[in-house]
Structure formats: structure tokens, C-alpha cells
């Protein structure tokens, strides 16, 4: 799914990964306990301050490996609260990044399906649960989520 960011707007679009990759995640909850968010600048932005989020966007994901919505427009510099609900029966994840980063992450998930996740641009959502990401889109470019 695709995230497009221009100087004035960002469009997030969902990147569909192969079915094999999607099922490689396994059923283990990798989220663990909440820890301090490490703010590291990425090509697609930086972890945001929840108090700075002026807009909340609700996403749902399903066992059909689809996100709703699958496109999102964001202004450069905008901090969003992304609320991700898993309507499926298995654990799913929502990851922001570049297409290249998401492909590398998918390859790692195939190789190490029980690997730990603790990045602020990832949400690991057990079946029937909801998680959040607060992210500041401070860079222009085309970005994705999967």
C-alpha cells in the first residue's frame, strides 16, 4: 500500500505483500510491554508526540490482508494518531516505511517469524484488538504501509 508525500501533502497507500509473506508473521504477539519510544529520523518521518497529533485516522485490517482505508493524504509536518483495529482472527501488523524498507522487513519476517518488534512505526495487533502509532510526516516523498 502506498504513501505519497509531496511538499504539501502525503498520500499513504497500502502495499500488498505476497500471501506467503503475510502468513510468515506467525501468531505470537510481538508487541511486548510499552517502552519509551525511541525517536529516530526515518525517510518517511519520525515518531510523533501524542500531544501534537491534531488528527486521528482509523484503520481496520482483516485476514484478507487488506487495510481500510488503503490511501491517506497527509500534509508535510503533520502529526497523526493512527488507530489500527484488527478485525481478523490472527495477529496482524501495520508498518510504515519506504517500499524498499517494507520489502526488507517482509523478507526478515519470512526468515524469522517470531522476531521482536519495537519500532515506533510498527503496530502489532492481536485479533480483535486495537493499537496506535503516533507519527510525524516531516519529509517529502512517496511512502508505503503494509
Would residue 63 count as lying in a domain? yes
Would residue 103 count as lying in a domain? yes
The residue among 137, 146, 4 whose CA lies nearest residue 72 is: 4
**CA–CA distance from 111 to each of 19, 89, 97, 108, 131 (Å)?**
15, 23, 19, 5, 25
**Residues near 103 by Cβ (< 8 Å), separated by ≥ 6?**
none
What is the number of domains present in the chain?
A: 1
Q: Do residues 104 and 133 make contact, with C-beta atoms less than 8 angstroms apart?
A: no
Would residue 131 count as lying in a domain? yes
Q: Cβ–Cβ contacts within 10 Å for residue 126, how many?
A: 17
Would residue 17 count as lying in a domain? yes
Q: How many whole angstroms separate alpha carbon 12 and alpha carbon 80?
A: 12
Would residue 76 count as lying in a domain? yes
Would residue 124 count as lying in a domain? yes
Q: Would you say the pTM of this structure is higher than 0.95?
A: no
Range of the domain at 79: 2-29+40-145
Q: Which residue has the higher pLDDT, 14 or 92?
A: 92
Would residue 129 count as lying in a domain? yes
Q: Do residues 134 and 79 make contact, with C-beta atoms less than 8 angstroms apart?
A: yes
73 alpha carbon, distance to own chain's centre: 15
Task: Give all strands (DSSP E) within the chain, no chain letters.
Answer: 2-5, 10-14, 46-47, 55-61, 67-68, 71-74, 78-86, 92-97, 122-125, 130-137, 141-145
CATH number of the domain residue 119 falls in: 2.60.40.420
- Range of weakest confidence among 4-13, 56-65, 118-127: 4-13
Average pLDDT over residues 131-140: 95
Would residue 35 count as lying in a domain? no
Give residue-wise pLDDT tens across range 20-69. 444 445 555 544 445 566 899 999 999 999 999 999 999 999 999 999 99
Percent of the chain surpassing pLDDT 70: 75
Amino acid at each position: 500500500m502506498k504513501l505519497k508525500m509531496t511538499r504539501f501533502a502525503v498520500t499513504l497507500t497500502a502495499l500488498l505483500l505476497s500471501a506467503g509473506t503475510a502468513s510468515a508473521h506467525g501468531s505470537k504477539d510481538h508487541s511486548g510491554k510499552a517502552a519509551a519510544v525511541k525517536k529516530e529520523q526515518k525517510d518517511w518521518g519520525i515518531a510523533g508526540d501524542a500531544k501534537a497529533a491534531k488528527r486521528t485516522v482509523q484503520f481496520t485490517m482483516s485476514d484478507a490482508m487488506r487495510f481500510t482505508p488503503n490511501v491517506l493524504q497527509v500534509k508535510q509536518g503533520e502529526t497523526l494518531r493512527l488507530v489500527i483495529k484488527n478485525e481478523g482472527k490472527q495477529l496482524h501488523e501495520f508498518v510504515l516505511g519506504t517500499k524498499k524498507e517494507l520489502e526488507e522487513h517482509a523478507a526478515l519476517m519470512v526468515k524469522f517469524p517470531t522476531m521482536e518488534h519495537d519500532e515506533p512505526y510498527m503496530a502489532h495487533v492481536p485479533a480483535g484488538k486495537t493499537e496506535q502509532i503516533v507519527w510525524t510526516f516531516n519529509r517529502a516523498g512517496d511512502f508505503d504501509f503494509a
